[in-house]
Amino acid sequence: MKNRVWIVLLVISLGINIGFLLHRAWPKTRRSNAAADCGAPGWHASPMKQGLGLNSAQTRLMEKERRQVLAQAKPLQDELRRKRRELFLLLKGREIRDPDLDLALNEISRLQAAIEKMFILHSLKVKGFFSPVQLQKYESFFEQGLCPGMAPAASCPPGEMSGRRSERSGCTDMKHDKKVN
């Protein structure tokens, strides 16, 4: 029984962490005139547009890809919500059978992995639209999302996890990165 509880907690934790990463990796969009015209947030309204220095052609391509991946992910996300609801109902019951729990957790894991893969492939495709300078800035946004609040900024500065600097591996071994005065 203790193992089942740990598995459920692990799945819930994974979902929260993925949501947090996505929230940090794609900063909240600001409403602009372009956003008001289109009626929806996206690359045209994103602070990343200015931060990366995207031109209008890049913005249109990025927005097209964003809408496409969101449309592809929606059925999987809907199914994931349904499976999480089923898991919740299963947990509300008095007796939980191992096969039922395993089936629910396997389905949730499969759907989460499929959604993650879809967004990772999208990210790799989008990287092809950037100049080298824009690509470095784009990767920096993800580094900041992967290492928030885990250590002082000096322990995980942007640009060090992307493999561009070989003397450190970014956020690894942060407890050993203390400054000695």
Question: What are the extents of the domains in the chain?
Answer: 2-130
Question: Residue 94: is its pLDDT beyond 70?
Answer: yes
Contacts 24+ apart (CB under 8 A), 65-70: 65/122, 65/125, 65/126, 66/42, 66/122, 67/42, 69/118, 69/119, 69/122
**Segment 43-66, tens digit of pLDDT:** 666 777 788 888 888 888 888 999
Spatial contact of 145 and 120, defined as CB atoms under 8 Å apart:
no
Tens-digit pLDDT profile for residues 124-159: 898 888 899 988 888 887 777 666 665 455 555 555
